[in-house]
Amino acid sequence: MNNGKLCISICAETVDELIRGIERAEELADVTEIRFDCLNKAEFYCEKLEEFNRIIDKLLKYKKEVPWISTFRPKSQGGRRELSDLERSIFWFSGYELDQGDFEEDVIEDSFYWLWFDSICSYHDFSGLHEKSDEIYTRLKGTGAPILKIAVETHDVADALPIWKLLKRARVDGKEMIPIAMGEAGKWTRILGLAHGAYLTYASLEAGGETAPGQLIASEMIDVYRVKQLDRETKVYGVIGDPVSSSLSPVIHNAAFVANGLNAVFIPLLVKDLDEFMRRMVRQETREVELNFAGFAVTMPHKQAVIKYLDGLDDVAATVGAVNTINTEDGKLVGYNTDAAGFIEPLKRTFGDLKGARVAVIGAGGAARACVYTLKSQEADVTIIARDESKARALAEEFTAGSSGLSKIKDPSSKASLNDFDIIVNATPIGMKGELETQSPLTAHELAGVKFVFDLVTSADDTPLIREAKKAGVSAIGGEEMLLEQAAKQFEIWTGGSAPIDVMRDALNKKQQETRG
User: Annotated catalytic sites, by residue?
Assistant: 303
Nearer to ligand NAP among residue 77 and residue 486 (C-beta): 486
- Listing DSSP states for 135-183 in one string gives HHHHHHHHTT-SEEEEEEE-SSGGGGHHHHTHHHHHHHHT-EEEEEEES
CA end-to-end distance (rounded Å), the chain? 32
Burial of 402 (0-12, 13-18, 19+ CB in 10 A): middle
Angle between helices 480-495 and 501-516 (to 10 degrees): 140
Beta strand ranges found along 167-233 (DSSP E): 176-182, 200-204
CB of 89 or CB of 245, closer to ligand NAP? 245
Q: Which is nearer to ligand NAP, 329 or 411 (CB)?
A: 411
Determine phi and psi for 276, rounding to 5 degrees: -65, -40
Cβ-based nearer residue to ligand NAP, 103 or 491: 491
- As a whole number of angstroms, the distance between CA 488 and CA 203 comes to 30
To ligand NAP, the closest distance from the beta carbon of 422 in angstroms equals 20
Sorted by sequence, the CB contacts under 8 Å of residue 61 that are 6+ apart come out as none
Sequence-distant (6+) residues with CB within 8 A of 258 are: 226
Looking at beta carbons only, is 39 or 251 nearer to ligand NAP? 251
CB of 190 to ligand NAP, least distance (A): 24
In terms of Cβ atoms closer than 10 Å to its own Cβ (0-12, 13-18, 19+), residue 444 is: middle
Residue 80 or 410: the one with the smaller Cβ distance to ligand NAP is 410
- Residue 98: exposed, middle, or buried by beta-carbon count in 10 A (0-12, 13-18, 19+)? middle
Question: In the complex with ligand NAP, which residue's Cβ is closer, 339 or 422?
Answer: 339
**Bridge partners, residue 237, by sequence:** 266, 295
Please state the closest distance from residue 131 (CB atom) to ligand NAP, in A.
Answer: 36
**Residue 362 CB, nearest distance to ligand NAP (Å)?**
7
The string over 53-69, giving b where at least 16 C-beta atoms fall within 10 Å of a residue's C-beta and e elsewhere, is eebbeebeeeeeebebb
- In 3D space, the residue among 345, 343, 318 whose CA is nearest the CA of residue 427 turns out to be 343
Q: Alpha-carbon distance 170 to 176, whole Å?
A: 6
Q: In whole angstroms, how far apart are CA 281 and each of 8, 135, 274, 291?
A: 29, 23, 10, 8
Q: Quote the CA–CA distance of 339 and 493 in Å, as a whole number.
A: 13
- Residues 463, 464, 468, 469: what is their CA dihedral angle, to the nearest 10 degrees? -30
**Can you point out the beta strands (E) in 419-484?**
423-426, 452-455, 475-477
**Minimum distance from residue 286 beta carbon to ligand NAP (Å):** 26
Interacting residue ranges for ligand NAP, rule: CB under 6 A: 299-301, 303, 339, 342, 363-368, 386-388, 391, 427-430, 432, 436, 456-458, 479, 482-483, 486
Give me the least distance between CB of 240 and ligand NAP, in Å please.
Answer: 12
Q: How far is the CB of 34 from ligand NAP (least distance, A)?
A: 40
Closest CB 353 distance from ligand NAP, rounded Å: 22
Closest contact distance (angstroms) between CB of 343 and ligand NAP is 7
Element (H, E) at 493: helix 480-495
Residues 260, 497 contacting (CB under 8 angstroms): yes
Q: Residue with CB nearest ligand NAP?
A: 365
Q: Which is nearer to ligand NAP, 226 or 302 (CB)?
A: 302
Shorter beta-carbon distance to ligand NAP: residue 133 or 486? 486
In contact, 476 and 457? CB cutoff 8 Å: no
